[in-house]
C-alpha cells in the first residue's frame, strides 16, 4: 500500500505539469482557431435501456442502429477560439451529463457558469456519435446543429430547432417537431406525426399513416405504394405531393386562399378564387386528406 500512493502522486504530478504546459503555451495566430476538445466514451449494457433521451444544444447528433445489444456513446465537446487559454477555459464551462435512471438513459450538454464567470466567447460545439439497438426508443432535442437517425424501429420523439435533420430507414411510430431548418426523410414507414414551422421538408418513400401539420416552409412528399393514410394541415406552406401513380389513392382536398394544381380526374365541389374543394374517389385503400390555408398545393 505504501508503494501505491507515491506512484499515484507521481502520475498526478506529471498530468498536472502537462496540463499547465498545454494550457500556458502561447500559440496565437489571427487566422487560426485553437480547438480544445474533450471526449467521453461509454458503453451502456445491462439492464437494457428502454429510452435514450438526448437534450442537446449546438450539437451534431448521429444515432445509428446496430445489431449489438448495448449502446455505445462517443460524446465530444469542443471549443474554438484564436486564443488557446480562452478556448480551454470556455471548454471547462461546457459540461455534459450521462446518467441512467432505471430503464431510461439521459445524455445532455449544457453551459455551466460558476459564480463570477463570464459567458463563453468561443465557438462551442457538441458531437454525439451513438450506436444503439434498433428497438431502443429515442427522444432527441437539439438546436442549431445536425441530426441523423438511421435504422431505428421503435418510438421516436424529435424536437429540432434550426437543425438539418436526416432520417433514413425509420419504422415504428413517432412525433417530430421542427422549427426552421430542414428535414429530409427516406424510407419511413409506420405511424408518424410531423409538426413543422418554417421548415423545408422532403419525405421520400414514405408509407403507413402519416400526419403533417405545416406552417410556412416547403413540404415535398413522395409516398410509396405502402401508404395507408396521409393527412396534411397547412398554413402558408408550399405543399407538393408527388406519387409515381397518383391514382393509387383517394383524395379529399380543401383549400382557402390557396393556389392549387391538381391532375385531371379530380372532381370539384367548389372552385372559386378563394375557396376550393375537390376529391378523387376510386374506393382505394389509402386516403389522402389535405386542408390548406394560403400557400400552394400541387399534386402530380
Of 82 and 224, which has the nearer Cβ to another protein?
82
One residue of 51, 72, 166, 240 binding another protein per CB under 8 A: 72
Contact 214, 234 (CB under 8 A): yes
DSSP strand pairing (267-271 vs 218-235): unpaired
Three cell numbers written together for 101: 435512471
Three cell numbers written together for 300: 402530380
Q: Is 123 in the site for another protein (CB under 8 A)?
A: yes
Task: Give, as ranges, the residues between 172 and 191 that touch another protein (CB under 8 A).
Answer: 180-181
In sequence order, the 6+-apart residues with CB closer than 8 A to the CB of 92 are none
Three cell numbers written together for 220: 415535398
DSSP strand pairing (287-293 vs 259-261): unpaired
Q: What is the DSSP letter of 119?
A: P
**Please, what is the minimum distance in Å from the beta carbon of residue 32 to another protein?**
5
Task: Give, as ranges, the residues between 98 and 117 that touch another protein (CB under 8 A).
Answer: 99-101
Of 72 and 298, which has the nearer Cβ to another protein?
72
Report CA-CA distances (Å) from 215 to 201, 234, 251, 266, 296. Answer: 11, 6, 21, 25, 12
**Please, what is the minimum distance in Å from the beta carbon of residue 44 to another protein?**
6
One residue of 52, 91, 160, 290 binding another protein per CB under 8 A: 91
Q: Is 193 in the site for another protein (CB under 8 A)?
A: no
**Please, what is the minimum distance in Å from the beta carbon of residue 250 to another protein?**
34
Contact residues: another protein, CB under 8 A: 1, 4, 8, 19, 22-23, 30-47, 58, 70, 72, 80-82, 84, 87-88, 91, 99-101, 121-123, 125, 143-144, 146, 162, 164, 180-181, 198
Amino acid at each position: 500500500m505504501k508503494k501505491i500512493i507515491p506512484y499515484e502522486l507521481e502520475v498526478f504530478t506529471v498530468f498536472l505539469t502537462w496540463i499547465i504546459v498545454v494550457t500556458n503555451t502561447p500559440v496565437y495566430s489571427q487566422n487560426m482557431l485553437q480547438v480544445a476538445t474533450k471526449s467521453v466514451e461509454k458503453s451502456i449494457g445491462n439492464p437494457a435501456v428502454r429510452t435514450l433521451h438526448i437534450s442537446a444544444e449546438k450539437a451534431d447528433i448521429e444515432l445509428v442502429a446496430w445489431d449489438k445489444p448495448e449502446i455505445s456513446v462517443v460524446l465530444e465537446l469542443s471549443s474554438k477560439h484564436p486564443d488557446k487559454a480562452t478556448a480551454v477555459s470556455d471548454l471547462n464551462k461546457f459540461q455534459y451529463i450521462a446518467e441512467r435512471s432505471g430503464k431510461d438513459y439521459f445524455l445532455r450538454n449544457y453551459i455551466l457558469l460558476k459564480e463570477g464567470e463570464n459567458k463563453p466567447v468561443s465557438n462551442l460545439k457538441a458531437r454525439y456519435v451513438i450506436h444503439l439497438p434498433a428497438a431502443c426508443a429515442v427522444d432527441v432535442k437539439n438546436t442549431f446543429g445536425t441530426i441523423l437517425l438511421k435504422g431505428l424501429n421503435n418510438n421516436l420523439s424529435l424536437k429540432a430547432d434550426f437543425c438539418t435533420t436526416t432520417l433514413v430507414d425509420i419504422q415504428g411510430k413517432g412525433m417530430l417537431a421542427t422549427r426552421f431548418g430542414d428535414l429530409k426523410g427516406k424510407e419511413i414507414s409506420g405511424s408518424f406525426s410531423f409538426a413543422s414551422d418554417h421548415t423545408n421538408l422532403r419525405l421520400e418513400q414514405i408509407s403507413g399513416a402519416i400526419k403533417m401539420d405545416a406552417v410556412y416552409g416547403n413540404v415535398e412528399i413522395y409516398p410509396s405504394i405502402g401508404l395507408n393514410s396521409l393527412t396534411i394541415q397547412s398554413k402558408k406552406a408550399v405543399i407538393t405531393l408527388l406519387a409515381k401513380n397518383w391514382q393509387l389513392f383517394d383524395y379529399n382536398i380543401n383549400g382557402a386562399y390557396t393556389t392549387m394544381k391538381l391532375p385531371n380526374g379530380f372532381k370539384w365541389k367548389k372552385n372559386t378564387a378563394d375557396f376550393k374543394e375537390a376529391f378523387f374517389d376510386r374506393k382505394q385503400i389509402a386516403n389522402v386528406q389535405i386542408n390548406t390555408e394560403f400557400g400552394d398545393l400541387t399534386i402530380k
